Amino acid sequence: MSVIQRLSPGWLLDHLSFINKINYQIHQPHEPRGSQKESTPVCFDSLQMNSLSSVGFSAAFTASDSTTEPEKDGENCRTQKYAFRSELFNVVKPYIAPAVHEACRQSNEKEDTVNNVKQETSISVVGKIRELILDGSSQLIQEGLRSGFLYQLLEKRDKCSNLITLPLDTCSLSGLCEMAKHLPSLNGMELQTLQLVEEDSSVAEQDLFSRFVENNSSFSKMITLMGQKYLLPPNSSFLLSDISCMQPLLNCGKTFDVIVMDPPWQNKSVKRSNRYSYLSPLQIQQIPVPQLAAPNCLVVTWVTNRQKHLRFVKDELYPAWSVEVLAEWHWVKITSAGEYVFPLDSPHKKPYEGLILGRVQAKATLPLRSTDVTMPPIPDHKLIVSVPCVLHSHKPPLAEVLKDYIKPGGECLELFARNLQPGWTSWGNEVLKFQHVDYFVALESGC
C-alpha cells in the first residue's frame, strides 16, 4: 500500500513503497563468465537517425521474455529481482533556503507594479489555496512524524546533502517517436496488438513504436530498445507513440473508467530552453478522450500553478469533452522531515501542483457497457502529500487514492505517462522513460 495515512484533509503517500511492491522479478539465462559487458547509453545524432530510418527499425528492437523457466541443471539460468533506487527519493532538505527565498520575494515585490487587477485576483486565489494546504498538510505531516514514516534529519543533513548521481539519459524516446511516424512501414498500417505472455521464450526484432503492447504475464519482463533495457511490470500495457499516432489505443478494444493525464503545458521556461516539447491548448483539446472514456469515466488532469491553465481545463477543455468539473485537489511536496520543498508563499516555484477531477457525462460516451454502478461523489479540496521523486515529472501514484471513486476492476489509462503500472494502460512518447533498468538496482540473483 502506498497510503501511509488517510485523514479528512487527504492522504500521505509513500511513492517509493508503491513502486517496490511491484513484482520486478525476472528469470533470464546466464551469460557465460567473462562475456558480460557494461551497457552504454545509446543516443543518436541526426545522421545516425537518418541511417536508422533508411534501414528500418525492426532490427534495432527486441523484446525478450523474462519469464523463461530455469534450466533443470541450474547452470544456465538466474532469477533477478529489482527495486527502484531509493536515493531517487532522498529529499532531506528544501530545494530553496529561506534566506534565498526572502531575497527573491523582496525583489519581486518591487517589480510587481503593473496589472494590478489580475495580480489582486491571483493573490486572492493563491491565498485560499495557501490556507487550505497549510492546515490540511500539517495534520498529515504530524501523523507521518508520529508514525515514524517522516523523521527529523537535521543532524544528518550535511551527510545526506551530496548530489545524487542520476543515470545517464538514454536516447530520446520522443525523438525516435517523431521519426518513427514518418516511416513507410508505419504509415497507414494497423499493427496488431503485441501480447507478451508467460509461455513465450522470446519475441525477437519487434517494432515497439506505434504498437499496442501487453504484458499479460504475472511476471515482469525485460525488453531491449535501441540497446537500452527497460523493465515491464506484470499485467501492464502501453503504447509508445507520438500524439499523431494514437489509433492503436483506440483500436485496442478497451474503454476506460479512469483517465489520468499530465499534459506538457506550455510555459516560458520551456520556450526559452527548447529542451521540452509542449502542446498548445488546441492540441490538448483534440486528444480523443470521449472515444476512450467509458460511461461515467473519471477524468483527472494534472495542472501547473498558472491560473491560465486552470481556467482552460475548467472552462474549455472539460466542457469540450462533456466532462463535468467536480473537484480540485493538490499534491503537496515535502521533504523526509516534513518540510515543504519550496516555501509556501514563494513567488515562483510552489511546493504543490493541482489536479482537476471530473466525470464524463454518460450521454457523451459510447454505449459499450452498463452504467448501473453508482459511484460515491468526488470530494473537493483533498490533498495528496508525499516526498517527490527527484526525477522531473515523476508524479505520485493515484491508483489507491482513486480506487474508491471507480468501479471494482475498472479499466485505467494514463496519458502522457513516463512509467508503467500493473493493471494500467499507459500512453506517451516517453512512456518507458522511468522503466529504464538504470533507475533500478538488482537486489538478489540466483536460481
Domain of 366, CATH number, reads 3.40.50.150
H-helix or E-strand containing 359? strand 352-360
Sequence-ordered alpha helix ranges (H) in 56-115 = 98-111
In sequence order, the 6+-apart residues with CB closer than 8 A to the CB of 70 are 27, 77, 79, 447
Extended strands (E) in 160-291: 194-196, 212-215, 221-225, 228-232, 236-240, 256-261
**What's the pLDDT at 49?**
46
Number of domains in the chain: 1
Is residue 209 situated within a structural domain? yes
Q: How many Cα neighbours within 13 Å face the side chain of 170?
A: 20
**What's the pLDDT at 226?**
80
Is residue 44 situated within a structural domain? no
Strand-pair category, 236-240 with 256-261: unpaired
Range of the domain at 419: 3-32+49-94+161-446
Our CA dihedral for 30, 35, 38, 39, rounded to 10 degrees, sits at -70
Is residue 286 situated within a structural domain? yes
Strand-pair category, 412-415 with 352-360: unpaired
Strand-pair category, 228-232 with 221-225: antiparallel
Cβ neighbourhood burial of 128 (10 Å; 0-12, 13-18, 19+): exposed
Cβ–Cβ < 8 Å for 305, 350: yes
Is residue 68 situated within a structural domain? yes
Q: What is the pTM of this model?
A: 0.82
Is residue 251 situated within a structural domain? yes
Is residue 233 situated within a structural domain? yes
Per-residue pLDDT of the chain (447 residues; tens, 9 = 90+): 689 999 999 999 999 999 999 999 887 655 555 444 444 444 444 444 444 444 344 434 444 544 444 444 445 557 789 999 999 999 999 987 655 444 444 444 444 444 443 444 455 667 788 999 999 999 999 999 999 999 865 544 544 545 556 655 555 787 777 766 666 555 445 567 888 876 554 554 356 777 899 999 888 998 888 888 899 999 999 999 989 889 999 999 999 999 999 999 987 654 544 445 789 999 999 999 999 999 999 999 999 988 999 999 999 999 999 999 999 999 999 999 999 999 998 887 899 999 999 999 876 545 544 455 677 899 999 999 999 999 988 999 999 999 999 999 999 999 999 999 999 999 999 999 999 999 999 986 655
**What's the pLDDT at 273?**
44
**What's the pLDDT at 164?**
58
**What's the pLDDT at 185?**
53
Is residue 140 situated within a structural domain? no
265/280 Cα distance (integer angstroms): 7
In sequence order, the 6+-apart residues with CB closer than 8 A to the CB of 431 are 173, 238, 239, 240, 417, 418, 419, 420
Is residue 123 situated within a structural domain? no
Nearest alpha-carbon partner for 405 in 298, 323, 299: 298
276/265 Cα distance (integer angstroms): 10
